[in-house]
Amino acid sequence: MPIQGQTIDTENIADDAVTTAKIKDINVTTAKVADDNITAAKMFDLGRGSILYGNASAVTTELTKGGASEVLTSDGTDIAWTAAAGGGGNTVYNAIINGDMTIAQRGTAFRAGDNDDDSYTLDRWYVLSDGNDIVDVTQTSDTAVGDSKYAIQLDVETIDKKFGIVQIIENVNCHEMIGDNVSLSFRAKVAGSGKLDNVKAGVVAWSGSSDSVTSDIISAWGAEDTNPTLIANATFENTPANLNVTTSYATYKIENISIDTASTNNILVFIWSDVVDTDLTDSVYITDVQLEKGTATTTFVRELESKNLSNCQRYYFAPSGNAVGIAYSTKGMVFNISFPMVMRSSPSATIEYGGTANKLYRIQTGATQIITLNYFGNASGTTHLYDLSIGDWTGGTGEAWNTQFAYNSEL
Partner 1 sequence: MYKLLKDENNETTGILKDEYLYIPMDEGNMDYQDYLAWLEEGNLPEENNE
Residues forming the site for partner 1 (CB under 8 A): 211-212, 215, 344-351, 357-358, 372-377, 379-380, 384, 386-387, 389-392, 408-411
- Note whether 161 and 276 are within 8 A (CB): yes
Residues 6+ positions from 226 with CB-CB distance below 8 Å: 274
Name which of 111 and 344 has its Cβ closer to partner 1.
344
Residues 54, 227: Cα–Cα separation, whole Å = 45
Residues 254, 258: Cα–Cα separation, whole Å = 11
Name which of 373 and 400 has its Cβ closer to partner 1.
373
Name which of 82 and 265 has its Cβ closer to partner 1.
265
Name which of 150 and 361 has its Cβ closer to partner 1.
361
Question: What one-letter code names the amino acid at 395?
Answer: G
Compute the least distance from the CB of residue 217 to partner 1, in Å. Answer: 14
- Note whether 189 and 245 are within 8 A (CB): yes
Beta-strand pair 250-258/181-191: antiparallel
Beta bridge partners of 327: 333
Name which of 221 and 335 has its Cβ closer to partner 1.
335
- Note whether 152 and 121 are within 8 A (CB): yes
Compute the least distance from the CB of residue 323 to partner 1, in Å. Answer: 13
Name which of 126 and 300 has its Cβ closer to partner 1.
126
Compute the least distance from the CB of residue 385 to partner 1, in Å. Answer: 10
Q: What are phi and psi of 395, to 5 degrees?
A: -80, 170
Q: Which of 133, 132, 119 is nearest to 165 (CA)?
A: 119
Q: Which of 125, 176, 90, 117 is nearest to 287 (CA)?
A: 125
DSSP label at residue 23: S
- Note whether 301 and 97 are within 8 A (CB): no
Handedness of CA 79, 82, 84, 86 (dihedral sign): negative
Alpha helices in 142-252 (DSSP H): 171-174
Compute the least distance from the CB of residue 393 to partner 1, in Å. Answer: 9
Name which of 301 and 312 has its Cβ closer to partner 1.
312
Displacement of CA 214 from its chain's centroid (Å):
20
Residues 208, 202: Cα–Cα separation, whole Å = 18
Report the first-to-last Cα separation within the chain, whole angstroms. Answer: 99
Compute the least distance from the CB of residue 58 to partner 1, in Å. Answer: 59
Compute the least distance from the CB of residue 136 to partner 1, in Å. Answer: 24
DSSP label at residue 144: -
Q: Interior CA angle at 151 toward 297 and 259, to 5°?
A: 35
Compute the least distance from the CB of residue 47 to partner 1, in Å. Answer: 53
Residues 185, 253: Cα–Cα separation, whole Å = 4
Compute the least distance from the CB of residue 410 to partner 1, in Å. Answer: 6
Compute the least distance from the CB of residue 329 to partner 1, in Å. Answer: 12
Name which of 344 and 362 has its Cβ closer to partner 1.
344
Name which of 62 and 352 has its Cβ closer to partner 1.
352
Name which of 299 and 336 has its Cβ closer to partner 1.
336
Compute the least distance from the CB of residue 213 to partner 1, in Å. Answer: 8
- Note whether 93 and 172 are within 8 A (CB): no
